[in-house]
Structures are given as C-alpha cells and as structure tokens.
Amino acid sequence: MMTRSFCVPFACLLLLWSSADSAHAQSADLVLCDRVAADPADPDKPADVKGVTSIAPSDLSTAIKFCKQASGSRRAMYALGRAYAASHQPADALAAYRKAADKGSTSAMVELGVAYATGSGVQKDEAQARKLFEKAANAGNPRGISNLASLSGGAGAPADPVRARDLLSRAAETNAEAQYQLGMMMANGAGGPKDDVAARGLFEKAAAQNHPGALEQLGAFAQAGRGGAQDSAAAKSYYQRAADLGNADAKAALKRIECPFVLKDKKGALVSNLCF
C-alpha cells in the first residue's frame, strides 16, 4: 500500500516559512557584508553593489561577523580578508585570502601575490607572486595585470608596461578598474604613446561606474583642460563625488579649490591653506 507524507496547513506554512527565512538570512549576511566591506574594484562585485574603498573602523566588527557568516561566497571570503587586514590581523587576513583564492577569487589572488612580493606575513617569494598575479591577470583582473607588469622579469629584466597596456585594453571594455588603470597609463605615456583625449574618455567610462580614482582624475583633467574642455564647475563636481567615496586626493583637491592660497615656511613646506 502506497503512502505519502502530509502536514496540516498550519504546519506546512511553518515549514515553508522556516525554509524561506533560512534562505533569506543567508542572503542577508552577504548583503550586509557587501554593504560594509565589498571592494569597488573586485570583479566579483555585482554592479548594484557600491563597495567601499576602505572599511570604516566603526564597521569592522560588523564586516567580520557578516562576511564570516556569508563565507560560502568567494567575494564574502575576500571581503573578510579585507576586514581582518583593516583590523590589523594579518594572519587571519591571509588565511581568508587563501580560502577565497581557492574558490576562484582573483582579487584574493592579487592580495596574496602582494604579500609574497613584499614578504608581508609570509616569506618573500617573487616567483609565487608572479604565479598569482599571472593567474589573476589571465582571468582579466586589472590589478593582477598591473601588478604583474610591475614585477621585474627574470634575471633582473625590466617590467613590461607594453604587455600591461595590451592586457588592460582587453579588460577595459567593461571593467571600471581596467579603464582607470589604462587611463593612467595613457595619461603618463607608459607602455605606449601619451594620449590625454583617450585617457579622459576612459576616466569618463570608469567615473560613470563611480570609480573613485577615475572621478578624481576626471576632476583634475577637467580643471586643467587636459584631453578636452576646461570646466571648473565640472571639476569640482567630480572631486566631490570622489571625495564622497573616500578618495583622499579628491578631498585635498576640494580643499585647494576652496582655499587656493597657501602659507609656507622658510623651507618652502606647506603650513596651511588660506581661505578668504
């Protein structure tokens, strides 16, 4: 005789609510982790997540709690590493980065690569750093690309900005960090000809995605009239947007605009800005 399970309506409702609530709780952990600790430059970050350039000290305990609870996600595990690093817990940060990298986080690979390249918390190992940067770069991570180029080659050979520019050009089709990095190379003439117009265009693309560095650079270009029209009002607006995202250079630029006169000591060192 065949039987089938059943439940009374109220019991079924409780079971459904419990299941849905559990799924919601899990996603809520990731939402809160993203809100306080997501990296704006992380390729894993969804487009609707703003991210923070640096985790606010008041948010560190929240970030560690919720990113740890959402650590099934590789971007949450990477964010957990950022939170530990900001909390001056380097061993925990490296452990989190390793787990995130094992899950495929290219941003975590970059952080581990930096640790090996500098000998921060681990024995310095440029070969391991190169391996990690290369893996991240091949996956299109802009920081992986630029850091790979910054490493010296074998037997002390120079860095390869030409290769970095080529790799960034491919990643810059959609990625704001790649647009910013490539724009900086073009603005400085690194790895190819200097091109202020193209650099400004790239900064505009990245700024449209609220990239703090690109907004600051776009403000500087608009203020100086580099690569396009000079527009002081637009420059101030770009600086303000970048400053609101925590960019220190943009905050300094706004201060210079508001207080253009400087007071220096006998050695020429800046003492303060003068506002009138």
pLDDT of residue 11: 40
Query: For residue 241, what are its two tokens?
Result: 């947007």
CB 35 within 8 A of CB 62: no
One-letter amino acid at 124 equals: K
Query: For residue 123, what are its two tokens?
Result: 């024995």
Cα–Cα distance measured from residue 253 to residue 32, given in angstroms and rounded to the nearest whole number? 32
Would you call 270 helix, strand, or coil by DSSP?
Answer: strand
CB 263 within 8 A of CB 274: yes
Query: How confident is the prediction along the chain (276 residues), in pLDDT tens digits per residue?
Result: 343 433 444 344 333 333 333 334 448 999 999 999 999 989 999 988 989 989 999 999 999 999 999 999 999 999 999 999 999 999 999 999 999 999 999 999 999 999 999 999 999 999 999 999 999 988 989 888 878 877 755 444 446 788 888 888 888 887 888 899 899 999 999 889 999 999 999 999 999 999 999 999 999 999 999 999 999 999 999 999 999 988 999 999 998 888 776 667 777 776 666 665
Query: For residue 256, what are its two tokens?
Result: 């210079």
Would you call 264 helix, strand, or coil by DSSP?
Answer: strand
Q: Which helix (H) or strand (E) holds 237?
A: helix 232-244
pLDDT of residue 186: 96
Cα–Cα distance measured from residue 107 to residue 19, given in angstroms and rounded to the nearest whole number? 33
Q: Which residues contact 212 (CB under 8 A, 6 or more apart)?
A: 40, 53, 242, 245, 246, 247, 250
- Written as one string, the DSSP assignment of 169-193 is HHHTTT-HHHHHHHHHHHHHTTTS-
Cα–Cα distance measured from residue 146 to residue 274, given in angstroms and rounded to the nearest whole number? 39
Asked whether the whole model's pTM tops 0.85, one would answer: no
Helix orientation angle between 212-224 and 232-244, rounded to the nearest 10 degrees: 160
CB 70 within 8 A of CB 26: yes
Nearest alpha carbon to residue 221 among 200, 243, 248: 200
Query: For residue 109, what are its two tokens?
Result: 């690979």
Q: Which fold has domain 27-153?
A: 1.25.40
Cα–Cα distance measured from residue 222 to residue 275, given in angstroms and rounded to the nearest whole number? 23
Query: For residue 98, what are its two tokens?
Result: 């390793």
Enter the DSSP assignment of 159: P
